């Protein structure tokens, strides 16, 4: 006989219980999923808040670093004129060239002990430059050939020089203001210009008190015992002496560097009342040869004619060179002639 298959027919009670169980199971699963989702959402929110906090801190730190950098812009300048003026302003560069002979040719201001010597100004040390935390290079036309050594560091040209045949006060104040703008401190530059003018005026008063009869000056620097450079109207000596109410006397028109080459005998063309200023450095050998020169002896400087010797001043410098020259003149010892 064939097998008999019985079909289960649940009762109404069992059916209700099964539906109830399924309902509660569904609710439990939903609750569990909701709890997990809430936990995940809460964790994500916490992580997002933490990320926002970290980003806020980074932003604050970045702002602080940016502000700090704007206050302490690290300048490298191979040019002594810019390096000296920045130092005198109170924002010395972190590096310049030929520091070992600074005192011999520039003198004042004194460089800070922390400054780095990048080697020869015209050919700075590339490896050393690469290690410096440089924000900006300040140079001029004479040093632009070396800009490739600074990598992607920006460079700006600032030139202290006459714009025409005669140097003026503005030829030195305008580049000083440009330096102030480059270091993001225009007031520092303005204050320095005002102070420089006051210092030059004070130096002028001292010179006038000491040598009231000396009105006219000629300025030279010896190359050897017979050859020299005479600094003329487009050199820094013109605005410096103008500010001191003195006259610069010249023999001819100078070159773009502000001087005309002359020989010792040419000094005889100067009037008797012109006081000759000799700018150091002057080597002992050259000094001895000058004193032994019969031409020099006949000229009479230091005897019948006025003469003085000044400490080094960077002749191709900026505002600081004008102040240094005035300070040197206020203390110079003049000998002979109208002095």
Dihedrals phi, psi of 6, to nearest 5 degrees: -100, 130
Other CB atoms within 10 Å distance of the CB of residue 195: 14
What is the tens place of the pLDDT at every residue in 174-192?
A: 999 999 999 999 999 999 9
Write down the pLDDT at residue 170. 97
The 3-state DSSP class for residue 100 equals helix
Write down the pLDDT at residue 132. 96
For residue 117, with 0-12 CB atoms within 10 Å meaning exposed, 13-18 middle and 19 or more buried, which class applies? middle
DSSP 156: E
What is the tens place of the pLDDT at every residue in 268-308?
A: 999 999 999 999 999 999 999 999 999 999 999 999 999 99
| Cα 310 to Cα 303: distance, rounded to the nearest angstrom | 18
| Cα 236 to Cα 246: distance, rounded to the nearest angstrom | 13
All residue ranges of the chain with pLDDT < 70 are: 1-71
- The residue length of the chain stands at 339
The pTM assigned to this predicted structure is 0.77
What is the tens place of the pLDDT at every residue in 36-68?
A: 344 433 343 443 344 334 333 333 443 333 333
| Cα 142 to Cα 121: distance, rounded to the nearest angstrom | 10
Contact 262, 251 (CB under 8 A): yes
């Amino acid at each position: 006989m064939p097998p008999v298959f019985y079909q289960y027919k649940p009762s109404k009670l069992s059916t209700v219980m099964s539906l109830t169980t399924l309902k509660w199971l569904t609710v439990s699963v939903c609750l569990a999923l909701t709890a997990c989702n809430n936990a995940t959402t809460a964790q994500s929110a916490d992580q997002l808040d933490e990320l926002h906090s970290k980003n806020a801190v980074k932003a604050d730190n970045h702002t602080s670093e940016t502000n700090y950098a704007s206050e302490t812009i690290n300048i490298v300048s191979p040019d002594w004129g810019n390096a000296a003026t920045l130092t005198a302003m109170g924002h010395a560069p972190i590096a310049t060239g030929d520091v070992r002979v600074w005192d011999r040719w520039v003198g004042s201001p004194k460089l800070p002990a922390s400054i780095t010597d990048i080697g020869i100004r015209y050919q700075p040390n590339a490896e050393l430059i690469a290690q410096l935390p440089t924000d900006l290079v300040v140079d001029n036309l004479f040093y632009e050939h070396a800009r490739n050594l600074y990598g992607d560091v920006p460079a700006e040209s600032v030139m202290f020089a006459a714009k025409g045949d005669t140097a003026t006060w503005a030829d030195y104040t305008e580049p000083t203001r440009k330096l102030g703008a480059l270091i993001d401190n225009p007031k520092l530059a303005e204050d320095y210009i005002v102070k420089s003018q006051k210092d030059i005026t004070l130096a002028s008063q001292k010179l006038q008190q000491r040598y009231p009869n000396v009105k006219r000056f000629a300025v030279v620097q010896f190359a050897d015992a017979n050859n020299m450079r005479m600094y003329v109207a487009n050199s820094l000596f013109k605005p410096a002496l103008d500010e001191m109410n003195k006259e610069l006397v010249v023999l001819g028109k100078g070159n773009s560097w502000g001087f005309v080459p002359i020989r010792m005998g040419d000094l005889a063309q100067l009037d008797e009342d012109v006081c000759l200023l000799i700018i150091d450095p002057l080597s002992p050998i050259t000094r001895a040869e000058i004193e032994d020169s019969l031409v020099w002896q006949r000229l009479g400087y230091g005897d019948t004619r006025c003469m003085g010797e000044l400490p080094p001043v960077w002749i191709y410098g900026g505002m600081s060179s004008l102040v240094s020259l005035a300070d040197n003149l206020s203390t110079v010892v003049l000998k002979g002639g109208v002095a």
